[in-house]
Amino acid sequence: MMNITSTFCENAKINPNKTAVHTNERSITYQALDEKTDTIAHALLESDSTNNENMPLKAAILLSNQIECMEVLLGSAKAGWTAVTFDPKWSHREILAVVEQTKPAILFIDSSFSSLIDILNKKVRVIVCGESYENWISQFEMDPIYLPQEDFSDRPFYMGFTSGTTGLPKGFMRSHESWTTSFRESDKEIQLESTDNISVPGPLVHSLFLFAALHTLHLGATCFLEKTFSGEKLKEKIKTSGITVMYGVPTIYEALFSSVTEPDTKEFFLRKCILSGDKWSCQRKKDWSRMLPNTEWISFYGSSELSFVAILSHADQDKRENGIGYPFSTVEISIRNHTGEEAAEGEAGELFARSPMVFSGYHQEKPVQPGEWISSGDIVWSEKDGFLNLAGRKKNKIVTGGLNVFPEEVENLLLSHSMVKNAVVTGLDDRYWGEKMAALLVVHDQPYKNEEELIEQLKRYCKNHLAAYKCPRQWMTASEVPLTTSGKPARKKIQERFAEERQ
């Protein structure tokens, strides 16, 4: 039977008393998690709401990084249901809209959303994490459990969300086979072990961290979840819990890096750091490598819809500032120029990919067909040996004075300056230029007379390294960069900040 939980169940038999998931509040063993998720699967299948011919098969989850979230995810998978992950950061309007859109049979919710519970109860059965949740499960604990034995390969295990063009979250689905194939690819390329203690510090609504948690259970390793992220707390967890592997996006590594001193690293046992979600400057990775010389860095490029596309090994981390690595073994790629034809070696074009790991399609849209090419939305170029380089995000492209600029190029240059901690470049509507280049900066605590002096220095730096039309014309400093749920710069919010400053 093809099910994302199959290897997890085997691990529960092999090491029943091993800790499967650890949080600051509590831990749960493989055996206890296996038994609890069997009961949840049985409870879902026996729920009154499923007793009709058109059985609703969605279980919505509005929970933070807690063990109950993992229980419902695995229980839904065992039942053949689709787990629909709601983002706790959504507004009440977005939560209600997605409930209407996806029509789940049941919604597992954190008690912190108490003001919404009465409204939601009119639309869907609500189980509140805590006493309500445990009471619901206890009704079925003494029942004989018979779980489905059919092959779930093509059935959607999970529905996640990306930003939709309407302003509301847009659902995408991935099948059991998509996930289990990505597990096998990771086993081959990243080579983690069942003895690893794996830190998953980001939100489980982010595909990267959900993959990290589920792959940990596939391995038979121990998953360490963080309910709320703090660089200082993560540093202590790495030291005291013997963390050997961690996943993160650049903002998480930056926050951790800011908390770590040279003596701290003597108590680190990190053997692998896995990076995804956005590009991180080569210089910052070199700084980390000096502090943690025995730690292997692995970056992978992909998306929620495409899953893995390319991997950048430790040896290739500083091969190119724009490098994203070589395609995974099951991934075929096509780079197409502006005419739609296959790009020549070294020619930039839009990246398309196909593999057994891609998503099944968007909710309420036509499904992705087997072998269908899917656009990544990124512009890349390939070297002779197949190594891929990222020029930039197609939708981020700025057209200024009729000339195209990918902000990532300018951001990489700014990040190479010793004073710059983070940088985001965007385009602002401008009557003369069409779009005007603007840069938001987060700077290191270094001495400079004033902000004006700093910006003048960075202007000269850009002029010395970039064509004039690529140099930012408007500048702003901030304490941090606003981010999306997936840990990427929220460029629309940044544009709004510049617009407010103009007024």
Q: Give the span between the Cα atoms of 487 and 481, in whole angstroms.
A: 10
Q: Give the span between the Cα atoms of 207 and 194, in whole angstroms.
A: 22
pLDDT for the residue 164: 61
Task: Output the six-digit token pair for 401.
Answer: 């004075």
Task: Using the Cα atoms of residue 274, residue 280, residue 283 and residue 287 in order, give the sign of their dihedral.
Answer: negative
CA 420, distance to chain mean position in Å, is 25
- DSSP 3-state of 352: strand
pLDDT for the residue 431: 79
| Residue among 328, 321, 333, 271 at smallest CA distance from 300 | 328
Q: Count other C-beta atoms under 10 Å from residue 444's C-beta.
A: 11
Q: Which residues contact 377 (CB under 8 A, 6 or more apart)?
A: 303, 350, 393, 394, 395
CATH number for the domain whose boundaries are 6-175: 3.40.50.12780
| Residue among 246, 303, 307, 358 at smallest CA distance from 484 | 303
Q: Which residue has the tokens 């779009």?
A: 435
Task: Output the six-digit token pair for 134.
Answer: 């445990």
Task: Output the six-digit token pair for 418.
Answer: 């010793």
pLDDT for the residue 434: 84
Each of the 503 residues of the chain gets a pLDDT tens digit; together they read 579 999 999 999 999 999 999 999 999 999 999 999 999 999 999 875 544 444 548 999 999 999 999 999 999 999 999 999 999 988 888 899 999 999 999 999 999 888 899 899 999 999 999 989 999 999 988 777 788 888 899 999 999 998 765 567 899 999 999 999 999 999 999 999 999 999 999 999 999 999 999 999 999 999 999 998 899 999 999 999 999 999 998 888 988 988 988 888 888 999 999 999 777 777 778 888 888 899 999 999 998 899 999 999 998 887 777 899 999 999 999 999 989 999 999 999 999 999 999 999 999 999 999 999 999 989 999 999 999 999 888 888 898 887 888 898 899 899 989 889 899 999 998 877 888 999 999 988 766 667 888 899 999 999 999 888 899 999 999 989 998 877 788 888 999 999 888 75
Decide the pairing of beta strands 197-200 and 169-175. Answer: unpaired
Q: At residue 469, what are phi and psi to the nearest 5 degrees?
A: -70, -15
3-state SS record for 324-343: EEEECCCCEEEEECCCCCEC
On the CB side of 72, CA atoms within 13 Å amount to 30
**Would you say 348 and 391 are in contact if contact means Cβ atoms under 8 Å apart?**
yes
Q: Count other C-beta atoms under 10 Å from residue 473's C-beta.
A: 14
> Taking the CA atoms of the chain, what radius of gyration do you get in angstroms?
24
What's the length of the chain?
Answer: 503
* pTM listed for this prediction: 0.85
Q: Give the span between the Cα atoms of 50 and 263, in whole angstroms.
A: 57
* Domain chopping of the chain, boundaries: 6-175, 397-502
Q: Which residue has the tokens 């959504």?
A: 90
**Would you say 235 and 262 are in contact if contact means Cβ atoms under 8 Å apart?**
no
pLDDT for the residue 1: 52
The two most distant CA atoms of the chain are separated, in Å, by 73
3-state SS record for 297-312: EEEEEEECCCEEEEEE
Angle (nearest 5°) at CA 23 between 72 and 69? 15
Q: Give the span between the Cα atoms of 302 and 486, in whole angstroms.
A: 12
Is domain 397-502 given the CATH code 3.30.300.30 in the classification? yes
- DSSP 3-state of 476: strand
| Residue among 66, 53, 114, 107 at smallest CA distance from 84 | 107
Task: Output the six-digit token pair for 316.
Answer: 């290739």
Tell me the one-letter amino acid at 143. Answer: D
Q: At residue 94, what are phi and psi to the nearest 5 degrees?
A: -65, -40
425 forms beta bridges with 439
**Would you say 378 and 185 are in contact if contact means Cβ atoms under 8 Å apart?**
no
3-state DSSP percent of the chain in helix, strand and coil, to 5: 35, 25, 40
pLDDT for the residue 54: 46
Q: Residue-wise over 257-271: b if at least 16 C-beta within 10 A, else e? A: beebeeeebeebebe
pLDDT for the residue 48: 54
Q: Give the span between the Cα atoms of 260 and 270, in whole angstroms.
A: 13
